[in-house]
Structure 1
Amino acid sequence: MLFNSYEYLIFLPLVFLCYWFVVNRNLKLQNFFIVCASYFFYGLWDWRFLSLIIFSTLVDFSIGLLLNHENRPSRRKLYLWTSIVVNLGFLGFFKYYNFFIDSFVDLFNLFGIQIQGSSLNIILPVGISFYTFQTLSYTIDVYKRNLEPTKDVMAFAAFVSFFPQLVAGPIERATNLLPQFYRPRTFDYDKAKDGLRQILWGLFKKIVIADNCATYANIIFNNSEEYSGSTLFMGAFFFAFQIYGDFSGYSDIAIGTSRLFGIDLKRNFAYPYFSRDMAEFWRRWHISLSTWFRDYLYIPLGGSKGGTRMKIRNTFAIFLVSGFWHGANWTFIVWGLLNALYFLPLMLSGKNRKNTDLVAEGRLLPSFTEIGQMLATFSLTVLAWIFFRANSVSHAMEYLSDIFTTKLFAVPEVFSIRAFAFILVLIGFEWFNRSKLHPLEVNEDAKATFDIKRWVLYFILIFSIIMFNGEQQQFIYFQF
């Protein structure tokens, strides 16, 4: 069920009404209803894969209880590794089995040894990378004694399967989301209104920005050998805003929907294309995944505390694993490697924490230096996105080589004034609201007053969603 579908338009109000007016008097019943609604939401994709979520939920719930009653280090490690092996085992089989088989065969063929490998017709369960990491974080936190294990299986099931963020995040930590299912929830009108605003902004980014950009990005990438360097650059440019509008739009809808149910999710995007260096970009892009790898991989490996060799090793480890997490294709690994190379000079020079403040804070416009920094960071990001979008590494290399020709400055053969105009609207609106959690957030002082300008803006956004929607595209991160 897509957030931008008519089915969801019916599903969400029905669940909302039942949640607040039918099962609201009993917390356990409310949590049970959330689990049922979430399983129904997920089961519409393929009901067979509900068994994976249920099994993962029961495994990690049980291991949490076992860890709570066990003090022997060897047994605690055994329980922890049981959770890791089970969760990553499922993820590895469904997502990477064919990749490893094909890569193994190709490696032997490279040395002239002909072997046969049997790939399987495996269907990738939607969202498996997200809920796997979410349940793993619970087990790891319980093992480290950073979190008390829950004895409420229904609250834990709601934490794992909560439908707004089940399929594509944000990847929530148990320390933030799980306790919210312990507490009685009362309807908060202001929180719900803000949730609706964030949903509206997310739909605008997905339907008007991402889907319109996707039309032209797909044409150019799928026929890249036919176009000039300027057109290929526009294809990469459109894809950069497609993936941003698509993924951050999903996160906005998920966070906004959660607020309708009295649940607060963590922020996942913080205007990443205004970043002044690549380190700042990764603090602002897919925050829930970046911080997950930081806390559960980078820091346990030693972080930045060791010598230069350890710093380099850990940097490459986190970015390569991040690339591999995105998909079973060498393009994602190269994408991760390229971002590691972008990040490494900043880390080695101690400048990776240089830009932690708001860009042009207290000023209407950025300085020329800040403009240059943002353009340079965005350009590097766009070049890396080519590997993310390309069908293969060779396709990406050919695409890049064809960009940097004498025709780079020619008039593009494929261009959309409408898509480009909406991108400019997005950039401008986000720039002037960059201090807010989302651009439609209303300041406390303005909540009590009726502002006709805000309502005009809402109607313009709704009108744009209805009139200027592109061809409906599945959310990109559903494949991960």
Structure 2
Amino acid sequence: MIFNSFTFLIFFVIVFIAYWAMQYRIKMQNTLILLSSYVFYGWWDYRFLGLIIFSTLVDFYVAKKIDSEPNKREKKQWLVLSLVSNLGMLVLFKYFNFFSNSWAEAWGLLGLEMSQLTLNVILPVGISFYTFQTLSYTIDVYRGNLKSTNNIINFGAYVAFFPQLVAGPIERATHLLSQFKNRREFNYEKAVSGLQLFIWGLFKKVVIADSCAVYCDAIFENYEQLNSATLILASIYFAFQIYGDFSGYSDMAIGLARLLGFDLKTNFKYPYFSRDIAEFWRKWHISLSTWFRDYLYIPLGGSKGTIKNQIRNVFIIFIVSGFWHGANWTYVIWGALNACYFLPLLLLKRNRKNLDDITVSNSFTFIKQLVSIALTFGLTCFAWVFFRAPNISIAINYINKIGDLNFGIEYLSIERYSVELMLLISIFVLVEWFSRFKEQPISGKYAMLKLTLVLMGIVVLGSYSNPKDFIYFQF
């Protein structure tokens, strides 16, 4: 069940009506959310419900034990149990075959043949997201930042909250779990805001992302026969595909939660208008970036200590972030590339230079900012090639083909809608640029007119005959 499907529309309407019919009855509302979330998740494969229930029960009871234990050593042992249980489950389903294959291939390079032990398992949808969400709970309880809850329904609903269950934002218990304790009243303005955000996210998914996917997939599948200009174009298409797809999901998730009276954290802040890579990572997948910052980077020492330790910490955080995305060396290279981009900013103490919003005070400043944005976007697109390519060999060959510097337009001449897509992306960029100080473009002045235009775009330009899964479902 995906957000851009008729099935989900029916599902959500039923949940929405039943949920607000129970207004002021918090226990009934939370129970409905929990059961609805299990239905939503079980729609893909009911067998994976056992995993999310297991993770929920483990961390619920582990947190209670951590809270009740006076001995710090005992607390740490319970925390280790949570880490081993959750990360062990993640390794088993997501990384076991990768490690096994990589081990055999490494021996193969030495001329030795090793048998490969592989598991015939399917990667559960969203396992990386809800695993990190539950882990943050036990870690925060261990650190004393949060008291454990005694309400298993509330905690279960927090872990499985269906709007953001399979692709984030990754919420902290300090922010979301507490909302399950409070009475929620229907608020018309909040509901309208949520609906607007959902519609804008739907537009980004079915119009921008899915349109780019058609051409991006075709070019990557036939890259050997195409020229440099076309391959560069595909990397740009993929940049907008993954942005429209992932930020679109986040917008829809936040909007749906708002329709139910909940507030989720912002996950994207117009990242392609970033003036350097450090700013990009403060605005892209914010919930994951801050998760790694708070639970890995800072405990390692962060940007303090010796130069050697700073370099080590930067590479650890980015490589682990890349590995989080998938069991493929392409993601590791993608993470390492971003570390290389980020490191000079850190060492020159310029990583927190662009903390202010982009403003246009004069022509020189504007041109300088545009150049910085273009360079940052170019570096990002280069790294996206490794993210998109199925393996390192294809990524390198793809980049080598770009290096041929053949800038003909033979691919565009045979593609009926390619020029129209570039025009659509250009309009989309302009809309986001002039909306960069707002949560999303539909709100504010002339909201009804803008909403009508966006809905028309969704109806006319969207694809519904074969709805595409969100890219981050695989992570």
Same fold by TM (over 0.5)?
A: yes
Between the aligned partners of 2:394 and 2:324, the Cα distance in structure 1 is 21
Match of 2:136 in 1: 137
Question: What displacement does 1:472 show?
Answer: 2.9
Between the aligned partners of 2:449 and 2:273, the Cα distance in structure 1 is 27
User: Which consecutive residues of structure 1, in runs of 5 or more, have no partner in the other structure?
Assistant: 447-452
Q: What SS class does the counterpart of residue 43 from structure 2 fall into?
A: helix
Aligned 8 A contact 2:277 2:341 in 1: yes
Question: What displacement does 1:226 show?
Answer: 1.0
Superimposed CA distance per residue, residues 7-49 of structure 1 (whole angstroms, 9 cap, x where no aligned partner): 011111111000001x223211110000000000000000000
Match of 1:418 in 2: 420
Superimposed CA distance per residue, residues 426-464 of structure 1 (whole angstroms, 9 cap, x where no aligned partner): 11111101011222233xxx6xxxxxx432221111111
Q: What SS class does the counterpart of residue 411 from structure 2 fall into?
A: coil
Superimposed CA distance per residue, residues 208-243 of structure 1 (whole angstroms, 9 cap, x where no aligned partner): 000000000000011111101111111111000000
Between the aligned partners of 2:408 and 2:128, the Cα distance in structure 1 is 42
Match of 1:195 in 2: 194
Match of 2:319 in 1: 320
Name the stretch that deviates more: 302-311 or 411-420.
411-420
Match of 1:450 in 2: none
Matched ranges for 1:196-215 at <5 A? 196-215=195-214
Q: Does 1:259 align with 2:258?
A: yes
Q: What SS class does the counterpart of residue 45 from structure 1 fall into?
A: coil
Match of 1:438 in 2: 440
Match of 1:55 in 2: 54
Question: What displacement does 1:366 show?
Answer: 6.3
Matched ranges for 1:302-451 at <5 A? 302-360=301-359, 367-407=366-406, 409-414=407-412, 416-442=418-444
Match of 1:4 in 2: 4
Superimposed CA distance per residue, residues 111-146 of structure 1 (whole angstroms, 9 cap, x where no aligned partner): 111111121221000000000000000000000000
Match of 1:107 in 2: 106
Aligned 8 A contact 2:24 2:184 in 1: no
Q: What SS class does the counterpart of residue 462 from structure 1 fall into?
A: helix
Match of 1:15 in 2: 15
Letter in 2 for 1:467: V
Provide closer, same or farther for how the CA distance between residues 274 and 26 of structure 1 changes in structure 2, counting only shifts above 3 A. same
Between the aligned partners of 2:59 and 2:196, the Cα distance in structure 1 is 35
Between the aligned partners of 2:175 and 2:41, the Cα distance in structure 1 is 23
Match of 2:470 in 1: 475
Match of 1:182 in 2: 181
Match of 1:449 in 2: none
TM score, norm. by length of structure 2: 0.97
Match of 1:88 in 2: 87
Superimposed CA distance per residue, residues 37-65 of structure 1 (whole angstroms, 9 cap, x where no aligned partner): 00000000000000111110010000111
Aligned 8 A contact 2:129 2:167 in 1: yes
Question: What displacement does 1:109 show?
Answer: 0.6
Between the aligned partners of 2:217 and 2:284, the Cα distance in structure 1 is 23
Letter in 2 for 1:466: V
Letter in 1 for 2:159: V
Between the aligned partners of 2:362 and 2:180, the Cα distance in structure 1 is 41
Matched ranges for 1:107-256 at <5 A? 107-256=106-255
Match of 1:299 in 2: 298
Q: What SS class does the counterpart of residue 299 from structure 1 fall into?
A: helix
Between the aligned partners of 1:361 and 1:291, the Cα distance in structure 2 is 29
Provide closer, same or farther for how the CA distance between residues 202 and 135 of structure 1 changes in structure 2, counting only shifts above 3 A. same
Aligned 8 A contact 1:243 1:476 in 2: yes
Provide closer, same or farther for how the CA distance between residues 394 and 462 of structure 1 changes in structure 2, counting only shifts above 3 A. same
Provide closer, same or farther for how the CA distance between residues 366 and 204 of structure 1 changes in structure 2, counting only shifts above 3 A. farther
Q: What SS class does the counterpart of residue 345 from structure 1 fall into?
A: helix
Between the aligned partners of 1:273 and 1:257, the Cα distance in structure 2 is 25
Letter in 1 for 2:409: V
Between the aligned partners of 2:440 and 2:410, the Cα distance in structure 1 is 33
CA RMSD of aligned residues (A): 1.3
Between the aligned partners of 2:403 and 2:108, the Cα distance in structure 1 is 33
Name the stretch that deviates more: 194-203 or 109-118.
109-118
Identity %: 53
Between the aligned partners of 1:180 and 1:15, the Cα distance in structure 2 is 18
Q: What SS class does the counterpart of residue 3 from structure 2 fall into?
A: coil
Question: What displacement does 1:395 show?
Answer: 0.4
Aligned 8 A contact 1:359 1:366 in 2: no
Question: What displacement does 1:364 show?
Answer: 10
Q: What SS class does the counterpart of residue 176 from structure 2 fall into?
A: helix
Match of 1:462 in 2: 455
Alignment: residue pair count: 469
Between the aligned partners of 2:99 and 2:112, the Cα distance in structure 1 is 17
Q: What SS class does the counterpart of residue 136 from structure 2 fall into?
A: helix
Between the aligned partners of 1:398 and 1:441, the Cα distance in structure 2 is 44
Between the aligned partners of 1:211 and 1:173, the Cα distance in structure 2 is 30
Between the aligned partners of 1:186 and 1:366, the Cα distance in structure 2 is 46
Question: What displacement does 1:182 show?
Answer: 0.5
TM score, norm. by length of structure 1: 0.96
Q: What SS class does the counterpart of residue 75 from structure 1 fall into?
A: helix
Letter in 2 for 1:7: T
Between the aligned partners of 2:168 and 2:27, the Cα distance in structure 1 is 24
Letter in 1 for 2:455: I
Question: What displacement does 1:410 show?
Answer: 2.1
Between the aligned partners of 1:306 and 1:137, the Cα distance in structure 2 is 26
Aligned 8 A contact 1:230 1:412 in 2: no
Superimposed CA distance per residue, residues 194-218 of structure 1 (whole angstroms, 9 cap, x where no aligned partner): 0000001000000000000000000
Q: What SS class does the counterpart of residue 97 from structure 1 fall into?
A: helix
